[in-house]
Chain A
Amino acid sequence: MPSVTTFVKKVHSGEINVVEHTAKVLQEAKKLNREYHYYNTICEPLAKQQARAIKKNPKGRLAGVPVSVKDAICVQGVESTAGSKILKGYKPLFDATVIQRLKKEGAIIIGKTAQDAFGFGSFSTNVGLDMKAPINPLDPTRACGGSSGGSAGITQLTQYPHLSLGESTGGSIAAPASFCGIPALCPTYGKISRYGLMDYANSLDKIGPMGKTIEDIALLLEIIAGHDPKDSTSLTSKTESYSKSLTKADHHIGIIKETLGKGTDPKIKDMVLNTIDESEIKHASVSLPLTQKYGVSTYFLLAMAEASTNLAKYCGMRYGKHETLKGSFNEYFSKVRSHNLNEESKRRIMIGTFARMAGYRDAFYLKATKIRTKIIEEYKKLFKTYDVLASPTMPIIAPTFKEIEKLTPLQHYMMDTMTVGPNLAGLPHMNVTIGEKDGMPVGLLLIADHEQESTLLKAAKVIENVE
């Protein structure tokens, strides 16, 4: 299959008929969707309209490239639900900044991908009421991972060049990438505009690129990254030419020892250590004791506290699901929310509300904000010596749906133990597939210092080349 860059060259030269190609991509998307449930919405009219426009004027760095978009990212005129029934029928009046940038470069939006409602999950099984969970492209008994599961699944399975947008709050890009066997990058907090992203937790949310190759995601990153005045948390630093800087460089990797102990599949541990050994990158064992011991609790307290306020706006008044106006404001809001939010959304809103309540706020929410400072310091100390840190992306291969059903909420949260650290610290990180166990992909997580996406991509390229 050609890389995105090669495909775009053929579109520019007229060798590929974009209208015909897009029709084939849409046909495949619909067929796969019946079996695998990767899309909540396939936006056929928009895709065909874009394809006709590109055929007339074949310009842009993504001319004619099919892109799938996580449902939490607003696309004008296309139903965008963040995977929740409470937003059924919501068709945004505007494009998210990332969508504006994609369209400007000629990308073709194929559809909105399945996810855990509002990003609340690690397996894409906490989908909204009446929605279907996406199925792993490599084994139909297993989950895609979450919460950007639909994006990862379609990117792996499609036979055409393809890019996808995911979103991570605590691991929602890296986890599904690991379980589906694709490269994907979660950028530094603020590197990619959040304007038009339906919030899970404002201080943690990041949109990021997913693709079939590291070159593809480097290209997508350089297109969607960069300052946006519409997002007050957007970084003002310049964007680099990531796709042109994938050259070999000398790195020093620190392997996080706490991620290789009890709880991590021994085979995955061996694969991570062997791959780094064989890469010939200079490496050493390092420790992140505070992050590994308290990261999950700190992350979920902050994320749920923020989510509980962010989701207050979903009340059946201005957009999304409506019910008959009856009773007082509180009765009406409670009715709409109780009927249309799924179980995990209610659970997280409840825990987050509790963590912010008078009498508990200091012990939970404020305490977590201070531990977050210490976690950031713990990473920063290591980055004085090491360019990149490494661990398994997930402690296990993609679990089966039956295995997931047996997990308690707490066991479910604990699955994010490798990924919550870099998300809390806002550090860029990415998944690289390093092999298989029982026929399922195993991912290695690379983490770099703030705004060192270039270093991350270079290291990933070296790791990817290990045979």
Chain B
Amino acid sequence: MKIDESMLKHVAEVARLKLTEAEIKKFLPELKEVLDTFSKISEVDTKNTTSSYQPVPLKNALREDKPKQCLTQEQALSLTTHKKEGYFKGPKAV
């Protein structure tokens, strides 16, 4: 499996993780070993096999479109320190 330092940094960036140099040094050989082993699944013939995204067959679960009680704005904001004028406050976008 071809995974090098630049690929590792790219994956980390996509996953919103900022790795330290020590983490990169540790993760690189570990991920190589794990992905080498996992890549052996290519040996299995799955030409005419469909995917299973769940282990048991599921039907669409629908409900009547009726309004129900939900969290109040105050409750929804009660677990964050980043709020302003009744809204979540995020980092600067521009």
Contact = CB atoms under 8 A, between A and B. Distances in A.
Q: Do A and B bind each other?
A: yes
Interface of A: 90-91, 93, 188-190, 203-204, 229, 232-235, 290, 294, 297-298, 300-301, 308, 312, 315, 317-320, 322, 325-335, 337-338, 341, 343, 346-347, 349-351, 353-355, 357, 363-364, 366-374, 376, 408-410, 413, 424-427, 450
Contacts, number: 168
B33 A318 contact: no
B41 A294 contact: yes
A198 to B, nearest CB: 14
Given A297-B37, A322-B82, A329 B90 contact: yes
25 contacts: A90-B79, A233-B61, A298-B41, A317-B82, A322-B81, A325-B91, A327-B91, A328-B93, A338-B17, A338-B18, A341-B17, A349-B15, A350-B8, A350-B11, A353-B14, A355-B38, A363-B42, A364-B39, A367-B41, A367-B42, A370-B44, A372-B55, A373-B52, A409-B30, A410-B34
B55 A425 contact: yes
Nearest to A316: B82
Nearest to A326: B91
Interface string B23-61: 100110011011101111110101001111111101001
Nearest to B92: A328
Given A317-B80, A350-B11, A409-B34, A189 B16 contact: no
A79 B27 CA distance: 31
Instruction: Please report whether the interface of chain B is mostly helix, strand, loop or mixed according to DSSP.
Output: loop
B55 A297 contact: no
Chain A at the B interface: mostly helix, strand, loop or mixed? helix
B52 A410 contact: no
B75 interface: yes
A93 B79 contact: yes
Of B3, B54, B78, most buried by chain A (CB within 10 Å of CB) is B54
A335 B18 CA distance: 7
A349 B42 CA distance: 22
A91 B3 CA distance: 40
Given A297-B38, A373-B51, A333 B16 contact: yes
A308 B71 CA distance: 27
B13 to A, nearest CB: 8
B66 interface: no
Given A233-B58, A337-B17, A376-B55, A347 B27 contact: yes
B44 to A, nearest CB: 5
Contact of A351 (B35, B80, B91): B35
Contacts of A327: 91-92
Contacts of B18: 334-335, 338
Contact of B31 (A93, A326, A334, A350): A350
Nearest to A312: B16
Contacts of A347: 27, 30-31
A326 B80 CA distance: 16
